Amino acid sequence: MNDGGYKIRNKEGAYFITFAVVEWVDVFTRKEYRDIIVESIKYCQKEKGLILHAWCIMSNHIHMAISAKNNNISDILGDFKKFTSKQIFRAIQDNPQESRKDWMLEVFLKSGAKNSRNKTYQFWQQDNHPIELITTNFTQQKLDYIHNNPVEAGIVEKADEYLYSSAKDYSEERNVGLLNIEWV
């Protein structure tokens, strides 16, 4: 896999990461699938040492600023992506109201067939594009980018109005979002 130079080199560092659904399929337009992501992040925080600094779930990708207590960011991300891909794939299969089911499953199966690392399907694109958050200015730029994504997409007018993001946690109403975060 060509990672374009993006790697987690400093295991003690905090990173801005993005993962996207293959072919940029808009899976997370449904609450059921977004909630799988939220619950999986909670599990990784509680059981695997994930430290979440900021996050946002968009229709076809996720942005996060993260670090890890045990310096195992790569392991956590790998487990997270593997688990969520299985859960979301199963949820799509089992959802009788999913009008896009056949099309989405076909996209995931075709993507999986192209990648020798998969047995059947592929949900997430391979790369996470981790970028270490080293300076205060760069970190703030990435936090603003994460939180303003729903505004730029025209989903909300103000970043802290978006439920599936940590923007509200960075506003005056600290610690009121769906997930626990540690400020950077």
- List, in order of start, the domains of the chain with CATH numbers: 15-170 (3.30.70.1290)
The predicted structure's pLDDT at residue 5? 52
Tokens linked to 181: 């975060």
Q: 50-57 and 61-68: which strand pairing? A: antiparallel
Residue 171 and residue 136: Cα distance in Å, rounded?
A: 18
Residue 91 and residue 98: Cα distance in Å, rounded?
A: 9
The predicted structure's pLDDT at residue 55? 98
Specify the amino acid at residue 174: R
Higher pLDDT among residues 62 and 176, named by residue = 62
pLDDT at residue 61 is higher than 90: yes
Find the distance separating the first CA and the last CA of the chain, reported in whole Å: 31
The predicted structure's pLDDT at residue 171? 86
Residue for token digits 């968009």? 58
Each residue's pLDDT tens digit, 71-100: 789 999 999 999 999 999 999 999 999 999
Handedness of CA 173, 178, 181, 184 (dihedral sign): negative
Which of 19-23, 71-75, 79-83, 139-143 is the least confident region? 71-75
The predicted structure's pLDDT at residue 70? 85
User: Could you give the strand order of the β-sheet that contains 131-132, starting from the edge strand earlier in sequence?
Assistant: 50-57, 61-68, 15-20, 131-132
The predicted structure's pLDDT at residue 183? 87
The predicted structure's pLDDT at residue 97? 93
Percent of the chain with pLDDT over 90: 80
CA separation (Å) from 153 to 69, 111, 158?
A: 33, 26, 11
Average per-residue pLDDT in the chain?
Answer: 92
33: number of Cβ within 10 Å: 19
Mean pLDDT of 94-117: 92
Residue 82 and residue 79: Cα distance in Å, rounded?
A: 5
pTM score, two decimals?
0.92
Each residue's pLDDT tens digit, 34-52: 999 999 999 999 999 999 9
Q: How confident is the model at residue 177 (pLDDT cuts 50, 70, 90)?
A: confident
